[in-house]
Amino acid sequence: MKKIGIVGGVAWGSTVEIYKTLCQLAQARAQATEHGLGPTGAPQMPEFSIESLNIARSQSLRGIEGDEASWAGFDAYFRAALLRLQASGADFALIASNTPHNRFDAITAGLSLPVLNLFELVAEQAAALGLRRLLILGTEPTMRGQALPSALARQGIESCGPAPGSAERAALLPLILELQAAPQPEAAAAQIRALALQTLGSAAQARDCAVCLACTELPLAYPDQIEAASFEAGGLRYLNTTNILAQAAFAHAIAS
């Protein structure tokens, strides 16, 4: 089983969920197949190295859209963490956050350590589910950026988000911060559903449309579905980017 490197702490809640899910998948594999057991009968668990970053520092290093040079500090902060994981002997790595994936190419430039690309994984999952339209909900860099929409477009999937300057868009950051600090899942889930309906109208309920929870805190609003890559709630379909990343990491860890 390959050693997994995790860049975490951005935020810590999603880091915990990804670590927990990877261990649960290993436990389930041990119960289902002899390949999941070690010589003593204990489950084969993946080895980890975790570089937990300071979320406040990472946010303060965010650059300005259209000014590539302004992102140098942000890119370097994440690249340095990946280099430490590489030095630890990790076979591959993941970044337990959506926002840095908007800078994926710049962050991973020059690394020999393979890094999973969350946005590509989300696009592949959406295509496999037969989706044709996704509402992207996340941090401002994710909703404003082109990395996720471009990955979706390569799979023939249209994407959209709350309009810039709209009340729906302005409500997302406080919601994300609340889920980081003191989650109230029922209220948060109701707010996300209302936001989707306000943005998409009745189209939000179409079978080929889904809400992409493109911030790794947003799935915390659905504790009963936290272990699902996709799920339905309140008549809408959702993609859980945290679980998509964890599932892909485990598959990569056990692949020969």
Record the pTM.
0.94
Q: In angstroms, rounded to a whole number, what is the distance separating the alpha carbons of residues 178 and 181?
A: 5
pLDDT > 90: percent of the chain: 84
Higher-pLDDT residue of 232, 34: 232
The answer as to CATH 2.160.10.10 being correct for domain 119-241 is: no
Instruction: Spell out the residues 6+ positions from residue 68 whose beta carbon is closer than 8 angstroms to its own.
Output: none
Of 62-71, 127-136, 160-169, highest mean pLDDT? 127-136
Q: Are 4-117+245-254 and 119-241 the same fold in CATH?
A: yes
- CATH hierarchy code of domain 4-117+245-254: 3.40.50.1860
pLDDT at 41: 77
Report d(CA 95, CA 135) in Å as an integer. Answer: 22
Domain ranges of the chain: 4-117+245-254, 119-241
Q: What is the pLDDT of residues 101-114, one digit of tens each?
A: 999 999 999 999 99
As given in the structure block, the two tokens for residue 47 are: 């080895």
Q: Cα separation of 95 and 99, whole Å?
A: 9
- 194, 117 contact by CB (below 8 A): no
Question: What span, in angstroms and rounded, lies between the C-alpha atoms of 3 and 253?
Answer: 7
